[in-house]
Structure 1
Amino acid sequence: MADTLAMSPFKIPLEDEELLCGHEGFRVLRDYLARDADFCSTHIHSDPATQAKWLLHRDLLHALVMPVVSLFKRASALAEAALCTRNTEDLELAFSGVARGAFLCLQCFVEEEEDWCRTIGCPACVTTATLSTESHIRLTIAASLLSTSPVSTPNSSNASTPTDEHPSPSKSLPPLPHILPALRDALSSDPFWGPDHWTHMFARADQLSADIQELIAECIDLESLVSSPRPTSYSSAGPRRVGTAPALLLQRMAHGEEEERKGAKVRVSQMAKRQMKLRDEEMEMVRRCAMQCWARTAVPSRIRGELLGMRDGEKRRRNLSCP
Structure 2
Amino acid sequence: MAAPLKRICCQAARQVSIYRSSSTTRQFAESRQCQHTTSRTFTSTSTAALPRRRGEPQNNRRQDEEAFSEKEHEEVLEDEPDIDGLINESEISSTGYAELEQHRELREMVRLAAWEMPLLSSLSREYEQPDPARHPLRWRYTTYFGEAHPASRKVVVEYKVSDLAHQGLEEKHLDKLRKLVGARYNPETDVVKMSCESFETQAQNKRFLGDTIEKLIAEAKDPNADSFEDIPLDTRHHKFKPNYKFPEEWKLTQERRAELEAQRRALLLEEGQRVEENRIVSGMAAIEAERQLRLKQVEEPIMAEARQPLPRGKQGRKEMGQTAGAQRL
TM-score normalised per structure 1: 0.18
Question: Rg: which structure is higher?
Answer: 2
Structure with the larger RCO, 1 or 2 (CA within 8 Å, 6+ apart): 1
